[in-house]
Structure 1
Amino acid sequence: MEIQKKHIFGTMVVTSMLYACGGGSDTAVDPIAPISANGALQLSIKGLPSGADSTVLVTGPEGYTSDVNGDATLSDLLPGTYTVTADPVVAQNAEFDVIPASISFTVTANNTTVQELIYMTDIQSKGVITNFGSVYVNGVRFSTDDTTISTDDNDDASEDDLDVGMNVTVKGRKTADGSISTASHIDYNVHAEGPIESISLSDNQIVVLGQVYQVDSRTVFEDKLFSELKVADVVEISAIKSADETWLATHIETSDAADTYKLIGEIANLDESGQTFNVGSVSVDFSQAVIEGTLANGALVKISSAQGLVDGVIVADEVELKDDNSNSDKLALDGIISSLSETQFVIAGKTVQWDENTQFRAGNSDDLNVGIRVKIEGTELDGNLVASVIRFDKQGEIEVKGVIQAIDLESNTLTVLDTVFLVDEYSQLKDDSDLDIRRFRLDLLSIGDLVEIEAFSNGDNLIVKTLEREETDASRNNDDAEAEIKGQVIAIDGQTIELQGAIVTTGQFTEYELGDSDVSADVFFAQLLAGDWIEVEGIKQADGSILATDIETSRANGDNGDDESGGVEFSGLISSFDSVESFTVNGRLITTDERTVFKGTAFTTIAEGVRVEVYGREADNGDILATRIKMEDNDHSDDYSVEIEGALEADAENGRLIINQQTVFFDVSTQISDGSEADLLQGTYVEIKASVDENGTLFALKIEIEDGDEQNSADVEGTISELLDNGEIVVEGITIVLNEMTEFENGNISRIEVGAYVEVEGQFNEQQKLVARKIEFSDSDESEIEGRISAVLSETQFTLGDIVIEHNQYTAFEYGSASDISVGVEVEVDGFVNDEGIFIAEKIEFQED
């Protein structure tokens, strides 16, 4: 590195005076002798570990020598050329030195020369880029002023070719405390480039070139969301090794059809005579390949192939041995613990040792466990890594979406939803706004920006794990009070929920979802437990709490499933539409059946270009059987409005209504349909769409007046006895009228058949027919069966006792697969009985004997 120089100039005043005695005396006074005009040298020593002393030799004119062990000022130096030589210092099992080791300079009279010596050690850091300015890897900011950068396709790349989430190898130098770090070279290679063979939203996995890649909340998707990827898309994946034979994807971007497919992995089962080896479960044929290096089991290689994976075999055109040796005293790694013993563990094949001198960050030694992701820095000793720092990459405990209220660059904090979050050197920052700033930093955020944050608690701080800016303040149209939060339930008090860093309150209008089913508040809270994950949409209140408009159970952060049943959920526009039973969202075929619930409006309004939220079960080929379809406005303007329906409890007065024991305000801007303000009388049945402000006040955006009054409202429960030719049905002798505004629960109009048990809410018309507002199908046919398989009837059917169980492409399997189905195996099956009396399995869980 270049030694930094700095000169501080001082002045010394030398005066000479001639004194005369008497007016004409010839006697002269000798002048005062001048002060010796020597100089000084101030040495500043930086970069060594605490307690380590430097060994510096200073030589100069007339045989001058001086040994210096730390910061020092050498005075009364003769002007001339001096040389400072810094010997290497061994500390913490690493060698620290100054480059160049010797430097010469001139000391001039009456001046103090300041010379800074920075001790650094070589380091190789293998990990994921979390931030820019210059480049942050494994919690260290590496300066990239004089760095060479290489990628797969470009040995002369630039920093613009790098992105957050890419797993890179940095070679450079750093001081003991990391305050000064420089990168001499950064190398990025994709772990895999090829077509997607399969995708599982429920398992958060994709398969490329035979390798399984897991996706989590920190995976960066460059141009498509996970739910938008589809089979046959060509992707470039950056990844780190997981605890098993899978990989954790850290960065995924799509590319055009590749001329060459690539895969990095370790050689196993090398057969030199047959010229094959394995990478994971895939066989590699290298008989026609150019080999760079010596192949051996356990060696890390990069495979290039024009054909890709064909019938489970990659025919390699080139196999390049990747040098995995650090050749540095310091080594930093980002990985997942695959095995663990008392004072050591293994990540990415490297044994890591720790002792009483190891510094733990964001956790302690008790938090070490198989499957935990950690970032490590240490020194190599006898082939092992002796850790000086272990930093835990903990699972997020809270996820919030809201606008920035405050930013403090001195403390590196920002405030969202009245909660303070700390951005540290490990936080991953990404700009997903229209500005799309690549080198994104905390100081580029502004108050009013809409951000999504995932964080975990560490002491008194909430540490940012990931931060994504969704919209800038200038482009955002939403209300500052709008809020989303996801986290684990800490405590429940009545119908108030405490999450990490937030209190969630509820109201009469709050909608509740368990899995993919709408439920009442009583049912929801009867099943909710501390430790459960929930997602909340609502309005931030003046006291800092969040008044929920929607609450649903969820999986942990990073999972795409909607509940524990293995279902999935995602949003998108309908891009092609064949029928209500078959349409495409995010490139995925969505099918519906008679049990699919259409929420938000009648299913007849589904069409191309409509935005929907899909809940359902996923087939191996990525198709989704929807259990629920929820309509969304394309501009999301209604995300934080609420809907209330019922009979008015009093006449409208002074711009206010009372419905379901809730006061709703309205004014001339409120849209009133099928009537006017004069019709808002006690007993009138209305449907209200209202906004909620920060004080929990409801304001009616739209009021729809239903025909009839409270006396005409009725509920009918029973079995459908007749289907009339005009589309009407008969329940308990009452004729039920269905129209496009009829809402269905636990199914749709396809479930209307003789013998179906329904609950109907509606109003009688002039013909005394009940016009249905809502029809709810009984879930009595939903059940759970447990037992040992008594017979296997076919590839898709087996029996439990006398009950025929049928599974299909949408059946979720837990602790096993369809191939494990055999006589005597004990299973637990969730599902329903269809019209043919066959039990359709939605989930099959294999039980331990």
Structure 2
Amino acid sequence: MKIQNKYMIGAMFASSLLYACGGSGSSTEEIPDSEPSPANGELSLNIVGLPDGTTSTISISGPNGFSSSIDGTTLLSDLTPGSYTVTTNPVLIDNIEFDVMPATFTLNVSANNTAVQELVYMTDVTSQGVISNFGSVYVNGVRYSTDDVSVETDDSSDASEDDLKVGMLISVKGRQTYDRSISSASNISHYSKVEGPLDAISLADNQLTVFGQVYQLNSQTRFENTTLVSLQVGDVVEINAIQNGDDSWLATYVELENGQDSFKLKGELSSLDQTAQTFAIGSVVVDYSQAEVESELANGLFVKVESNQGTVDGVLLADKVEMDDSNDDSDSELIELDGVITDVFENGFSLGGRLVNWSQSTNFVAGTSAELAIGARVKVKGVRTDNGISADRIRFDREGEIEIEGLLQAVNLDTSTITILDTEFVVDEYSQLKDDSDLDIRRFRLDQLNVGDLLEVEAFPSGDMLVVKKLEREEAAGESDNDSGEVKLKGSVVAIDGTTLQLQGVTVTTGQFTEFELGDSDVSSDTFFAQLVVGDWIEVEGIMQADGSVLATEIETSSSNGDNGDDESGNVEFEGIITDFISIESFTVNGRLVTTNERTIFRAMADSMLANGVRVEIYGREAENGDILATRVKIEDMDDNDDYDIEIKGILDADAANGMIVINDQEIMFDESTLFSNGSAANLLQGALVEVQATINANGQLFATEIEFDDNDQQSDVDIEGVITELLDNGELVVAGVTIVITDNTVFENGNSDRLEVGLYVEVEGRFNDEQKLIADEIEIGETESDDLEGSIGQILSDNQFTLGNITVRHDRFTIFEDGTVEDIVAGAEVEIEGFINENNIFMAEKIEFSDD
């Protein structure tokens, strides 16, 4: 048995204030007694915090030599009024000592009344993990009351709870009952892993690099004052992280620091060289030759390094080195940890450098012992032993398998559930809650949600329930004009039925107007569903229907768990507003240089529409310095309320009837509120060429908000295909003997106007003008005639060129490498290459994958 030093709270004697549920301390309570003895009173002592059947030894003494000993909840009657002294003794359960603080106190008994006192038995606990919620503070699924807590941060030893945020890593020291139903914090220490300038940012890999150390991001990483896509190399950030492997870390919290001129790094000291006066923290080498050192250094110590100079030649120059005791839990018997498994052995594993043992009596939640593996994130509750931590409960931290953005339909505080898209989600003690609305409530709770709030929820299935991992309120009810039917989904496909699919209980239907994307290519419904399989991750934008399903306006392939990559190619996707526009070949989005080439697709737009201030979606490949080579550029509507408008252009199949027109078998409703241009409802006759702006109602019907009659409504659409035989000086081209006119409204698919050249195969849709020239509405460029390459590298021609057989292959800073790096390009290496042949007959490598064979 390990006896702990207990901190006595002398001031509690007078009021008999003890720990109680909800952090509200127990106190003497006067309850009228229906039939007490005349002029005498009663004393009710209630035992709390011990398992049923546990014996406790409590002695009571009082006036006139009164003395009694009890071993459980007891009512003492017929007591002489006066002061009574209660003395409690520790109780040993599973070699853990539980006691009442203070152990001895006095109570006043008055005539004709009952004095009631709870005796709460608790033991010392240390919990190290991520803040998931407030009210008071939730860590590792436990609510710690913070009525009388001291808070320390890197910046202040006298901080407050207001300095803490969801996602931060903290160490809580406090007291806890046997069943953990009552937990009280006495001290909270916040500890960031690093504070320094960003060396590199990878959207493709979801990684940040500071002082040469890589920090992995996931969908649970919280960002403060910034977002991943807006961060720039050189920005100073504070990162909270848990160990993800020997030299890697998983970031739980990232905050952009403004005007920071000093840096910090924390971790375990290793590779100490007292002669060179250097040591390592992970992969970071620290030079402490000019530093103020708090105490003698030794391998295995946890230290905090402060630096005003940063790194020189990859070495961090320390100005101060001090011991870091934020991980110290030696004064507690109960331990709670959050971390990623770094090693596994029989009936045990390593978690953040700590040894955790489990047995047949260990309770596994959201997983089984068979799933304990390197890389798995778990939350452990256990008891300190000489051989590490003996776990009595291990909870797997599951990745989210569905993401939904939509309006809150219902909230049930009794069952801790919310409803979005007619789907019920359970919010448990591990769920992260955050308010990103204009209300910006820091201590955000479930009871502060309102029907109509716009929520983003990430959840995972557990049995027949969907459990919330992360809940963010994007907008409070009434903050925007968001239509209640507009939703976004992301998740893995669990079933496919024709052109309808299921995402974790949400049915998604498609229509003629649904846009489909595979990677960076627009495809037909037939092509999309021919390649889609159960288990694929997709993103859906659409409209909620009356039956609870979602009618998709756009579906695209995606990657899981919050990655920015769209598929397995390593490409990235992000949105932002154009700044520093130079040309369509070079402009800036979110501080990142975006370049385009002849293969860049300007989707559903003319490239002449690009300019400063235009919001765009960029899909492309990322260079090491963060520059992007765009393979697709799409203009996004600046008005979020129009995100789900549908544009349909075509010839009326029949005369309008009963408030309905039909284009290509698609029915579209209209009424007196519909706006008309270049005509009226009377002109809605068979053969009329119109452009329709429409919305979708809850029943999946299209309603025309605007109908524009084309000036050339007597002309039929014309399709021409063939190779380009001439490029005229005025920008026109000739295909199959027909002169094609390109306008600012011409839409290109599979490339842009830079790709146009004699001999290129194209398909052109348009209408003839009076000069019998075809005005191109859309030009689809045929795919480049080239195959992917596979084989052994031959000669190394230069730093960026080599041969594969008789083909010259060139790679550049935008080439994606898999299972290897540019250093692995050597003669004889087996590779698979994706790319295209340029005008100089050189194969441009977009992706190089190294083979083990």
Q: TM-score, normalised by structure 2?
A: 0.94
Amino acid at match of 2:166: V
Q: Matched residues in 1 for 2:422 and 2:351: separation?
A: 38
- 3-state SS of 2:229 partner: helix
Q: Matched residues in 2 for 1:804 and 1:91: separation?
A: 74
Amino acid at match of 1:672: F
1:789 CA displacement: 1.0
1:272-671 paired onto structure 2 within 5 Å: 272-323=274-325, 324-326=327-329, 327-671=331-675
Task: Judge which range, 204-213 or 649-658, deviates more.
Answer: 649-658
Q: 2:193 aligns with which of 191, 209, 215?
A: 191
- 3-state SS of 1:750 partner: helix
1:815-830 paired onto structure 2 within 5 Å: 815-830=819-834
Amino acid at match of 2:176: K
Q: Does 1:693 align with 2:697?
A: yes
- 2:690–2:713 CA contact under 8 A, matched in 1: no
- 2:724 corresponds to: 720
Q: 2:101 aligns with which of 74, 90, 99?
A: 99
1:228 CA displacement: 0.6
1:41 CA displacement: 2.1
Shift in CA distance, 779/51, structure 1 to aligned 2, threshold 3 Å: farther
1:537 CA displacement: 0.4
1:709 CA displacement: 5.3
Q: Matched residues in 1 for 2:491 and 2:508: separation?
A: 11
Q: 1:175 aligns with which of 174, 177, 187?
A: 177
Q: Matched residues in 2 for 1:433 and 1:686: separation?
A: 40
Q: Matched residues in 1 for 2:399 and 2:647: separation?
A: 35
- 3-state SS of 1:465 partner: strand
Q: 1:762 aligns with which of 763, 766, 773?
A: 766
- 1:429–1:466 CA contact under 8 A, matched in 2: yes
- 1:20 corresponds to: none
- 1:449–1:476 CA contact under 8 A, matched in 2: no
1:573 CA displacement: 1.0
- 2:46 corresponds to: 44
1:435 CA displacement: 1.2
Q: Matched residues in 2 for 1:479 and 1:657: separation?
A: 25
In our comparison, the structure showing a higher alpha carbon Rg is: 1
| CA deviation map 1:527-580 (0-9, x unaligned) | 000000000000000110000000001000210111211000111111221111
- 1:7 corresponds to: 29
Q: Matched residues in 1 for 2:34 and 2:613: separation?
A: 82
- 1:22 corresponds to: none
| CA deviation map 1:130-157 (0-9, x unaligned) | 1111111111111111111111111111
Shift in CA distance, 753/145, structure 1 to aligned 2, threshold 3 Å: same
Q: Matched residues in 2 for 1:351 and 1:656: separation?
A: 70
1:753 CA displacement: 1.1
- 2:733 corresponds to: 729
Unpaired runs of 5+ in structure 2?
1-8, 10-16, 19-25
Amino acid at match of 1:825: A
1:291 CA displacement: 1.5
Q: Matched residues in 1 for 2:363 and 2:115: separation?
A: 38
Q: 1:266 aligns with which of 260, 264, 268?
A: 268
Shift in CA distance, 674/828, structure 1 to aligned 2, threshold 3 Å: farther
- 3-state SS of 2:641 partner: coil
- 1:788 corresponds to: 792
Q: Matched residues in 1 for 2:665 and 2:320: separation?
A: 73
- 3-state SS of 2:370 partner: helix
1:38 CA displacement: 4.1
Task: Judge which range, 381-390 or 5-14, deviates more.
Answer: 5-14
Amino acid at match of 1:7: E
User: Number of matched residues?
Assistant: 829
- 3-state SS of 2:534 partner: coil
| CA deviation map 1:172-231 (0-9, x unaligned) | 111122222111111112211111111000000010111111111111111111111111
| CA deviation map 1:404-460 (0-9, x unaligned) | 111111111111111111111111011111111111111111110101000111112
Amino acid at match of 2:216: Q
- 1:569–1:613 CA contact under 8 A, matched in 2: yes
Task: Judge which range, 265-274 or 512-521, deviates more.
Answer: 265-274
1:675 CA displacement: 4.0
- 2:28–2:107 CA contact under 8 A, matched in 1: no
Amino acid at match of 2:754: S
1:64 CA displacement: 4.1
Q: Matched residues in 1 for 2:126 and 2:69: separation?
A: 32
- 1:647–1:710 CA contact under 8 A, matched in 2: no
Amino acid at match of 1:438: R
Q: Matched residues in 2 for 1:761 and 1:10: separation?
A: 90
Q: Does 1:119 align with 2:121?
A: yes
Q: Matched residues in 2 for 1:621 and 1:393: separation?
A: 33
- 2:192–2:240 CA contact under 8 A, matched in 1: yes
- 2:38–2:112 CA contact under 8 A, matched in 1: no
Q: 2:144 aligns with which of 142, 145, 151?
A: 142
Q: 1:773 aligns with which of 773, 777, 785?
A: 777
- 1:595–1:627 CA contact under 8 A, matched in 2: yes
Q: Matched residues in 2 for 1:574 and 1:234: separation?
A: 24
Q: Matched residues in 2 for 1:244 and 1:830: separation?
A: 33
- 3-state SS of 1:843 partner: strand
1:106 CA displacement: 3.2
| CA deviation map 1:364-416 (0-9, x unaligned) | 32332221111111111014111122122110011000001111111111111
Percent identity between the two aligned chains: 57
Q: Matched residues in 1 for 2:145 and 2:340: separation?
A: 27
Task: Judge which range, 560-569 or 76-85, deviates more.
Answer: 76-85
- 2:6 corresponds to: none
Q: Matched residues in 1 for 2:95 and 2:613: separation?
A: 63
Q: Matched residues in 2 for 1:536 and 1:552: separation?
A: 7
1:674 CA displacement: 4.3
Task: Judge which range, 820-829 or 177-186, deviates more.
Answer: 177-186
- 1:192–1:238 CA contact under 8 A, matched in 2: yes
- 3-state SS of 2:826 partner: coil
Shift in CA distance, 122/336, structure 1 to aligned 2, threshold 3 Å: same
| CA deviation map 1:692-734 (0-9, x unaligned) | 0110010112334345458632211111110112211011211
- 2:335–2:384 CA contact under 8 A, matched in 1: yes
Shift in CA distance, 549/51, structure 1 to aligned 2, threshold 3 Å: farther
Shift in CA distance, 103/349, structure 1 to aligned 2, threshold 3 Å: same
- 1:253 corresponds to: 255
1:37 CA displacement: 4.8
Q: Matched residues in 1 for 2:786 and 2:439: separation?
A: 49
- 2:209 corresponds to: 207
Q: Matched residues in 2 for 1:93 and 1:463: separation?
A: 35
Q: 2:757 aligns with which of 741, 753, 756?
A: 753
1:61 CA displacement: 4.3
- 1:54 corresponds to: 56
- 1:210–1:309 CA contact under 8 A, matched in 2: no
Shift in CA distance, 594/396, structure 1 to aligned 2, threshold 3 Å: same
Q: 1:228 aligns with which of 227, 230, 235?
A: 230
1:144-163 paired onto structure 2 within 5 Å: 144-163=146-165
Amino acid at match of 1:506: T
- 1:25 corresponds to: none
Q: TM-score, normalised by structure 1?
A: 0.95
Unpaired runs of 5+ in structure 1?
15-34
Task: Judge which range, 696-705 or 808-817, deviates more.
Answer: 696-705
- 1:24 corresponds to: none
